[in-house]
Amino acid sequence: MEKLLPRFLEYVQIDTQSDPKSKTTPSTKKQWDLAKKLVHELHKIGMQDVAIDEHAYIMATLPSNLEKRVPTIGFIAHFDTTPDFTAVGVRPKRIENYDGGDIVLNTAKNIVLSPSYFEELLQYKGQTLITTDGTTLLGADDKAGIAEIITAMEYLIDHPEIPHGKIRIAFTPDEEIGRGAHKFDVDKFGAEWAYTMDGSQIGELEYENFNAADAKIKFQGKSVHPGYAKNKMVNAIGLANEFLSLLPKHEKPESTEDREGFFHVYAIEGEIEHAKVELIIRDHDAEHFEARKALINAIVEKLNTQYPDAVSCEIKDQYKNMESQIALNFHIVEIAEEAMQQLGIEPIIKPIRGGTDGSQLSFMGLPCPNIFAGGHNFHGKYEYVPLESMEKAVQTIVKICELTGEKF
């Protein structure tokens, strides 16, 4: 475990931000910086079949140490960070023996991580927290997962007395922009099932996620001198505002929780003649998800009756709820749950309010529930991860490998 923290701290200081506007894979060249380092490290600890392809997908093998055949299982994490918040110049801070009070991340900018706002901090009193310095995200999503997987593999290599079958690991680019599984070669990976180490707080075990779609609404206006605009001007910005007013007011991320779906407007741009609104649609329930898409189309149709051909809409599905695929292979969830229980971790089984590579991979033939990596407040300056949670994640990986070897 003494290698876990230095490993993680080194990873987060390498900028791997992805870019949704890029057409390449990986979407940014800087993701190669960490990818190449990971390949070197996997060779160094003694992993076999270490390979990286032209798109920076990394795979490696820990061979079985059992005479009997057991299922090949896998562990997966992504090395990119979100494009929504800066990852340039990450300077992680280490808070030893957290006392339960406010943590001043940045004195000059008066940025404070406080349990009065983030109540879950109090769960980690007495533990070691790794935080940001208040100017960047941390990158525990998902460099914590990578550090945990590599540390677990090194531990198994150094402790051959622990029985396990063949284990495959993979690290992927571009998960944060929804492309992490797009070029993942499931056949080459060769596992019967896998786990993404990409969840949040200790104990999380997730096999349900949102159904997801992206919508782009374009508005066509007519520009006329404002002094002579009556019954002539069509203001595209006004059309965009009218569209937004017709969305359900309380069905947005900041007003929903648990299994409640939402519409999330994440970009607006416009002028008199042209405007565009971009939003994402999310719901765990498939019927509700389809109803949300239908509502968007109905609003567009309504506006077009008032302003003929002024509004166009493009909706693209992004991923589906993996529950239907995991249900066919539920023993893989039960193994992870038992592993946590044996380690004294209370499993927190709940739906993911987001997506994961595991969702797409499950529909590609690789059932892949999600396990905690330990972090909190991803994608922003208040991100942190307790070191003890990361250590428990390493132990969970090792225990899953051991239990799989015992049960088959």
* First CA to last CA distance, the chain: 29
Distance of CA 135 to the CA centre of its chain: 21
Q: Where are the alpha helices (DSSP H) in 30-170?
A: 31-45, 140-158
Residues 6 or more apart whose Cβ sits within 8 Å of residue 60: 42, 47, 48, 49, 50, 51, 153, 168, 169, 170
DSSP string of 253-293?
A: GGG--TT--EEEEEEEEE-SSEEEEEEEEEESSHHHHHHHH
Q: Which of 80, 148, 154, 283 is catalytic?
A: 80
Rg (CA), the chain: 23
**How far, in Å, CA of 58 to CA of 307, rounded?**
51
Residue with tokens 């407040």: 377
Q: Which of 175, 204, 206, 383 is catalytic?
A: 175
Structure tokens at 143: 């460099």
**How far, in Å, CA of 134 to CA of 17, rounded?**
17
- Cβ-based burial of 370 (10 A; exposed 0-12, middle 13-18, buried ≥19): buried
Residue 290 catalytic?
no
Confirm if 189 and 74 have CB atoms less than 8 A apart. Answer: yes
Residue 285 catalytic?
no
Confirm if 301 and 235 have CB atoms less than 8 A apart. Answer: no
191: closest CA among 169, 175, 206?
Answer: 169
Q: What share of the chain is helix, strand, coil (3-state, %, to 5)?
A: 35, 25, 40
**How far, in Å, CA of 327 to CA of 279, rounded?**
30
Confirm if 57 and 172 have CB atoms less than 8 A apart. Answer: yes
**How far, in Å, CA of 270 to CA of 27, rounded?**
27
Structure tokens at 16: 């791997």
Residues that are catalytic: 80, 175
